[in-house]
Structure 1
Amino acid sequence: MRILQVSAELFPLLKTGGLADVAGALPRALLAAEQDVRVLLPGFPAIRAGVADSVQVAELDAPWGERVRLRLGRIRTDGAPDLRAYWIDAPLLYDRPGNPYEDAQRQPYGDNHRRFALLGFAAARLAHGLDPAWQPQVVHAHDWHAALTPAYLAFGPRHGHPRVGSVFTVHNLAYQGLFAPWDFADLGLPATAWGMDGLEYHGQLSFMKGGLGFADRITTVSPTYAREIQTPEQGCGLDGLLRRRAGVLSGILNGVDDQVWNPATDALLPHRFEAGQLAGKVRCKTALQAQLGLAPGAETPLFVVVSRLTEQKGLHLVLGGVDAILARGGQLALLGSGDAGLERALRERATAAPRSVSVTLGFSEPLAHRLFGAGDVTLVPSLFEPCGLTQMYGLKYGSLPLVHRVGGLADTVVDATLEDMADGRATGFCFDTFDADDFGRALRRAFALYRRPADWDAVRAIAMGRPADWGSAAARYLDVYAQALA
């Protein structure tokens, strides 16, 4: 099957969050399943630099009149086939400081509606024959940045080409790509694409609605999240539309890329290890404690956080739980950035107890791997979580997740209750009420289990052995693609 994946970022070229990990791993899993898959990306500097052997395959006029080029090259991966990659060559839109979505002052770029409408527009043009040498049968768009792809497919001329199926994946419904209503005029879509059954959302322009309303099939990144977003509590105002389209909505749990996240082969760890041979994990903790200035101690329970610092991620619960962690003899190491108030408060805690609390603001891929490699408990107390990859990395690296039982967290972590431990199912710690008391009780359970080394080792072994391969997820997506084609 010829499949075009469309996303704003892709690991290892450009990453701001879990979207990049999925966008990088799924195409490789589809290639391994002998599918003809290509990706389409905006021409951000990191993407331009990371796509080798690029050649121009077409020119196109954006709906607002700007002339841009489409290039095709390849992303090389050690030990795997190269991934063919289209990228949009439009320096005036994409060659900017800051991250892909915001300027250096963390303000969204004022023309983001154009920058990401072009991504969906180019995807639809590819589906309708822009590259005469290759045409997809299915286009798979990821999150709001690519969400106009199904709308452009629905309203664009096919020029005699076969119908192309469309799939849209919601990675996080809370980020919807909302713009001023007058920005609709730039999109080149007919007036019939506006309105309650189109892209209009309470008077604003919603990219997310383009994907949810016009895609042949909709997926989310976990089964539980697929159910949650059909409720007023988690539907972010779109639950009615999602309930109407429930027949084409499904949840497919993300996998873990074994080429990137595998403690037995991870070159970013100072020492490798695997289930049943954990001496390397102990040495990873010792090395990390020295690196971060924490007090040495192999028996000290180390709690780790790798997260955006936002309200969604429940970091105020972590902040409120620091005293309980320290009082019971634990340490906390955090990597992340986001809300300025949270950053300031966490820095203050690290300054007050530098031998017990480490806070690194920003993002570092090597440090993220080292935190999972060294950690005993990975904290993921999110208010909501579509899938979550952090807890899955924690499972793989034997850093038992402590999670709020929602979304993908509920689908991947089994609480270490006596009965689930007896059944050999327990993999971490869960709490159900999103408040400090329930979070605190989960912390106490983690400390209690840590003081019982035999039981801790048993739960950790089950966690590290939990299947999380992308091959199974890719097979599910192929079923969805076939449904979109039909």
Structure 2
Amino acid sequence: MRVLQVSAELFPLLKTGGLADVAGALPAALAAVGAQPRLLVPGFPAIRESLSGECAVAPVALPWSEGRAALLRGRLPGFAMPVYVLDAPGLFDRPGNPYGDAAGVAYVDNHRRFALLGLAAARLAEGVDGSWKPEIVHAHDWHAGLACAHIAASRSRRRSEARTVFTVHNLAYQGLFPAGHFCDLGLPPQHYAVEGLEFYGQLSFMKAGLHFADAITTVSPSYAREIQTPEQGCGLDGLLRHRAGVLHGILNGVDYGVWSPSGDAAIAARYDAQDASGKAACKAALQRECGLAEQPDAPLFGIVSRLTEQKGLPLVLETLDELIDRGGQLVVLGSGDARLEAAFADAAARHPGRVARRTGMDEGLAHRIVAGSDVVLVPSRFEPCGLTQLYGLSYGALPLVHRVGGLADTVVDCTLEDLAADTATGFVFSAFTADACRRALRRAFALWSRQDNWARVRAAAMRQHFGWDAAARRYVEVYDGLLAS
């Protein structure tokens, strides 16, 4: 089957979070199970600069008067299949990240930028590339949500028969815009309705995907259940319950070609589950790199995350004194909320040699932190899937997580029975409170004091496999179901 994947990010060329990792790994996994995937991405500078063998496919008419846009087809390094690039310099050739300027301020025309991405997907579904026409268009997160709406409009005009799949990566980020921007989207007037894009007097690109897609997926089974509740539905739980029959929770995978300590060129020493001795060298190298005291007997806790309240980082700050008092160390990589950035900077200043803080997105350092840490902290308030805990398992950095979403689906707590059965892989707390997080932290220190048991749990963690093969088969089942209906 011919599948068009539509995403705003693509690892390794353009990444702000886990969406890029998924978009970068899933196409090859789909090809391995017999699908014929291609990609559609916006023409951001990093993408355009990497595109080779490009040819023009077709112009894309803009719903507004000024500017130009065209679909290009070419090759990107690391991808075996052709890639379509939406070339619109006036919209995408800008500094900063895909969504905002260098100061983090969202671009005021983001509604146009990502509406055009959806429109381009619909044009491909209508067959503007005479050599390839998708049967399935798989749109990822709100940035691609309007692909489902545009294709629904195309089907109503009998211009396309493509079916659509919409994957929710994080329901909290919905792509909300003023209702007055609807005229820029190129959609039929009837699409601005309660059964459409309208969301409490605004436009919601996320709601467009949820309403118009033929099938909905999200990135873990637990999160699929949680978003149907008022607590985690972000105002869309009623719609999700209404569409529960086409909602599938498919756990994200890990690209072990990128995230495996046995072949990682970014880390100080390679190791695996059979011989984890190289992890000590990775820990010592990380301590030196980050200015921490080089103490092999001090448990090292690592955070690689956006610094947001959603990630549960206030719990880390509330329990930090106990972590330090018990002899632990902490290294933090990330940026985001100014208050959290300042709080971790203050912690590093108060605890030199015990707490290290690095800002921004540094892919190599992220690998070195996961390889060198004994524990990776992911205490998220909510977490659709989470990849950091999966990377931690692969590298033997035991995850300490809140029992929610994909974290609940992938980490087994160090209870007595799971320790006895060799199934424990980390530390899990259920209530989202500092006290519950503190108790999980104490369990980590208790296990650390029994190094034979620690080594057994680390080995069990490293034996876990969350590859993309299983996820790809599940996606193909969803696609098959749509094509058979």
Q: Under TM normalisation by the shorter chain, which class is it?
A: over 0.9
Segment drifting more, 300-309 vs 98-107: 98-107
Aligned to 1:350: 348
Could you tell me how far apart the structure 2 residues matched to 1:407 and 1:62 are? 39
Letter paired with 1:451: S
Q: State the percentage of identical aligned residues.
A: 60
Aligned to 2:49: 49
| 2:176 corresponds to 1:178 | yes
| 2:325 corresponds to 1:327 | yes
Tell me the SS of whatever aligns to 2:38: strand
Aligned to 1:68: 69
Q: Is the 8 A contact 1:7 1:23 kept in 2?
A: yes
| CA-CA distance at 1:84 after TM superposition | 1.4
Aligned to 2:280: 282
Could you tell me how far apart the structure 2 residues matched to 1:467 and 1:258 are? 9
| CA-CA distance at 1:51 after TM superposition | 2.2
Q: Is the 8 A contact 2:386 2:406 kept in 1?
A: yes
| 2:150 corresponds to 1:152 | yes
Aligned to 1:361: 359
Q: Is the 8 A contact 1:154 1:214 kept in 2?
A: yes
Paired residue for 1:472, among 470, 478, 484? 470
Paired residue for 1:452, among 432, 435, 450? 450
**Superposition pairs of residues 267-416 of structure 1, within 5 angstroms:** 267-416=265-414
1:324-347 CA-to-partner distances (Å, cap 9, x unmatched) read: 111000100010000001101110
**Superposition pairs of residues 431-450 of structure 1, within 5 angstroms:** 431-450=429-448
**Superposition pairs of residues 91-110 of structure 1, within 5 angstroms:** 91-110=89-108
Tell me the SS of whatever aligns to 1:303: strand
Paired residue for 1:195, among 182, 193, 207? 193
Segment drifting more, 244-253 vs 311-320: 311-320
Q: Is the 8 A contact 1:270 1:284 kept in 2?
A: yes
Could you tell me how far apart the structure 2 residues matched to 1:262 and 1:467 are? 11
Q: Is the 8 A contact 2:14 2:20 kept in 1?
A: yes
Q: TM-score, normalised by structure 1?
A: 0.98
The number of residues matched between the two structures is 483
Instruction: Mark the runs of 5 or more structure 2 residues left unpaired by the alignment.
Output: none
Tell me the SS of whatever aligns to 1:21: helix
Q: TM-score, normalised by structure 2?
A: 0.98
Could you tell me how far apart the structure 1 residues matched to 2:443 and 2:236 are? 37
| 2:17 corresponds to 1:13 | no
Q: Is the 8 A contact 2:151 2:160 kept in 1?
A: no
Could you tell me how far apart the structure 2 residues matched to 1:477 and 1:379 are? 30
Letter paired with 1:413: V
Tell me the SS of whatever aligns to 1:132: coil
> Once superposed, which parts of structure 1, at least 4 consecutive aligned residues long, lie more than 6 Å away?
none
RMSD: 1.1
| CA-CA distance at 1:484 after TM superposition | 2.1
Could you tell me how far apart the structure 2 residues matched to 1:160 and 1:109 are? 34
Shift in CA distance, 254/316, structure 1 to aligned 2, threshold 3 Å: same
| CA-CA distance at 1:162 after TM superposition | 5.4
Aligned to 2:221: 223
Q: Is the 8 A contact 1:167 1:484 kept in 2?
A: no
Aligned to 1:3: 3
1:417-465 CA-to-partner distances (Å, cap 9, x unmatched) read: 0011112211100011111100000000000001111111111111111
| CA-CA distance at 1:33 after TM superposition | 2.1
Instruction: Mark the runs of 5 or more structure 1 residues left unpaired by the alignment.
Output: none
Could you tell me how far apart the structure 2 residues matched to 1:225 and 1:159 are? 35
Aligned to 1:28: 28
